Amino acid sequence: MTFIHRVEIIITNKKGVKDPEGETIHKHLILRKGYNVVHNVRTGKYLLLTVSASSEEEAVNIVKEMCEKLRIYNPVVHDIEVRIRG
């Protein structure tokens, strides 16, 4: 029996990889508007998929495999998190 699962993919730059978009948001928006308590901004990509699978574990495994085979992210510079959305 298969069920429909909502699976999230969060792609972020690895620690140590520059994030020009995050730096721009931090410097030119957040700090300029007086939110000096914010020390860093990192940006990324978010995808939400609907997947048919027999279990949550299978759905996550399908999505992880798909991300690697289709090169949805660059493993050299990105970290990826795949999880079930509750």
DSSP code for 85: -
> In the chain, where are the structural domains located?
3-84
Which pLDDT value is given to residue 20? Answer: 96
> For residues 36, 38, 39 and 45, what is the CA-based torsion angle, rounded to 10 degrees?
-140
Which pLDDT value is given to residue 86? Answer: 79
**What is the value of pTM for the model shown?**
0.85
- The CATH number that domain 3-84 falls under is 3.30.1280.10
What is the full DSSP assignment across 6-41?
A: EEEEEEEEPTTS--HHHHHHIIIIITTTT-TT----
Q: How far apart are CA 27 and CA 62, in angstroms?
A: 39
Which pLDDT value is given to residue 53? Answer: 98
Q: Express each pLDDT in 23-77 by its tens digit.
A: 999 999 999 999 999 999 999 999 999 999 999 999 999 999 999 999 999 999 9
